Structure 1
Amino acid sequence: MARRQGERISLPGLDETPVGPTGREKQDFADPEPLNSHGPARVIALCNQKGGVGKTTTTINLGAALASYGRRVLAIDFDPQGALSAGLGVPTHDVTTIYDLLLSSKVDPMDAVQQTSVEGLDVIPANIDLSAAEVHLVNEVAREQILTRVLRKLTPEYDVILIDCQPSLGILTVNALTAAHGVLIPLECEFFALRGVALLIETIDKVRDRLNPAIELDGILATMYDSRTLHSREVLERVVDAFGDRVLDTVVGRTVKFPDASVAGIPITEFAPEHPAAKAYLSVARELIQRGAVA
């Protein structure tokens, strides 16, 4: 049969909808509109009780990506290891840290804010002193709400505050969840990382029930994904089956560029802006804005 003029040719494979790593239709998130004003900030805790899943890497690079879209971002280092502070190249000793703010209401939180090399991205550092905070806070009245008090003076100045939590479900993490409007869970595409997510979500539910009724799960971000391995693909498939649309469409791949950028003390969006990992975090920022997790 002769083809009519202008008729589209259908070829196998060309008419299929592109599918992303999550098994859903591949999404391209549009660049967000610039903001006309700033504040009050939405507070997002980046939380996972398992270490090494990409919490700090996500805080650094998501913060930088949001800043590149004109958002005023404050990253709070809430881990005694101080990896966030080191990854952004800010000093952690002989300066006011988050530990000082937790222990004394007389310290102005703005005195602890340090600028980074990224325009629009500030940080409150932490060091090993923070490890003593749980001992000091255990006898405090309303100890779960001390970080909430600290953030009251900071939220008017920013559009988003990202809290990089330590890998535990202790009183510091509970403080972060009590102060947060939303939670973003970075999840390494590895079986043992998957096992702990249900426990973390149970903890979030308890905080919602007892301390912070407004807290929401903003999403689960798959990190360290390697499409070449069956294990990575199977873990991601199980996460999507279990949590559905709460899993972000954007997936961050495994790359040696992240530790290289950390050594340089700058986000990967500045260190290697054309790298797929940098583009992935820009996509995470656009997706969270589109989902309404960030203004």
Structure 2
Amino acid sequence: MIRIAIANQKGGVGKTTSAINLATAFAAAGWRTLLIDLDPQGNASTGVGVMTADREYSTYDLLMGEGTVEECTVGTNVPGLSLIPATVDLSGAEIELVSVEDRVHRLRDALVRANDTFDVCFIDCPPSLGLLTLNALSAADTLMVPLQSEFFALEGLSQLLQTVERVQQRFNPDLGIIGIALTMCDKRNRLTEQVSDDVRSCLGKLVFDTTIPRNVRLSEAPSHGLPALIYDQHCTGSRAYLALARELIARLPENRKAA
């Protein structure tokens, strides 16, 4: 199972939207896909049609050892896509994990049993660099970073890259960065082009060619409990995420692709 964490400590950059729609695209392509909602807000869970009342077990139970991957996994509105949902209990996990032995590797250890069940796992991280995100980075094979096309986002990117280096040194030496995706792009705005040029000049091919536009349909879809790819597969946002998914698949190691 390939584990991809989607993280950025800055909120509102499109992490959850990216996680939902990329997971949907992989599932549609025939990958056995697992989406892990590691954000206490639980937006990824709602976005794939899993309401609060249907979340008997959650990522909190998984991290605290009170449930297995199999027990915590539920179906979604997307064929081929399974979910480990989040509940408000997860907001207290950061405090409770402080006193737990090997607290940074709780998610990694829990996912070991799911290696043969799924082809790929997307982990939607909270907008912080606390213990929840550290668990995700320690469990992941690689990291994808959604980056909003504005200058404030660039400041946070350097902090995230420093965190990745520390995780590589202390917890997960195999962690890599598979790419940076520019989100919320408005081609009518010169700022978008300037930020894109700056990021590409600094990070080169690490930045995906595909950019995700500002799109009303992307914002509307979660209120219907559907990914945009199902809500309106022809909108510009959906087409962009399909293109991004193709790029992401092309960057995965050849010997780890699903059949």
- TM-score w.r.t. the length of structure 2 is 0.96
* 1:109 aligned residue: 69
What is the CA distance between 1:194 and its match in structure 2? 1.4
| Counterpart position of 2:243 | 283
Superposed counterparts of 1:57-206, under 5 Å = 57-93=17-53, 95-104=56-65, 107-206=67-166
1:82 counterpart letter in structure 2? G
Q: What is aligned with 1:56?
A: 16
Alignment partner of 1:216 is 2:172: no
CA distance in 1, matches of 2:20, 2:115: 19
Residue aligning to 1:19: none
* Equivalent position SS for 2:208: coil
The secondary structure found in structure 1 opposite 2:174 is: coil
* Distance of 2:41 and 2:252 partners within structure 1: 31
5+ long unaligned stretches in structure 2:
none
Q: CA deviation at 1:107?
A: 2.1
Give the C-alpha shift of residue 277 in structure 1.
1.1
Distance in 2 separating the partners of 1:139 and 1:81: 23
Q: Count how many residue pairs are aligned between Structure 1 and Structure 2.
A: 254
Does the Cα contact within 8 Å between 2:218 and 2:238 map onto a contact in 1? no
The amino acid across from 1:274 in the alignment is H
| 1:229 paired residue number | 189
| Secondary structure of 1:213's aligned partner | coil
Aligned residue identity for 1:193: A
Residue deviations 1:125-167 (CA, integer Å, cap 9, x gap): 0011101001111011111000111111122111110000000
CA RMSD of aligned residues (A): 1.1
Aligned partners of 2:94 and 2:132 also within 8 Å? yes
> What is the aligned counterpart of 1:292 among 237, 252, 258?
252
Structure with more of its chain in strand, by fraction: 2
Amino acid across the alignment from 2:57:
T
**Structure 1 residue 91: deviation in Å?**
2.5
The farther-off stretch of 91-100 and 57-66 is: 91-100
Give the unaligned 5+ runs of structure 1.
1-40
Identity %: 43
Aligned equivalent of 1:42? 2
CA contact (8 A) 2:215 2:236 kept: no
Letter in 2 for 1:120: G
What is the CA distance between 1:101 and its match in structure 2?
Answer: 1.2
The SS at the match of 2:185 is: coil
SS at 2:161 equivalent: helix
Amino acid across the alignment from 2:60: Y
SS of 1:196's partner is helix
Secondary structure of the corresponding residue to residue 96 of structure 1 = coil
Q: Secondary structure at the match of 2:212?
A: coil
In structure 2, what residue type is equivalent to 1:244? Answer: G
- Counting helix residues as a fraction of each chain, which structure ranks higher? 2
1:208 partner SS: helix
In 2, are the aligned partners of 1:48 and 1:167 still within 8 Å (CA)?
yes
> What amino acid does structure 1 have at the position aligned with 2:58?
T
Q: Secondary structure of 1:139's match?
A: coil
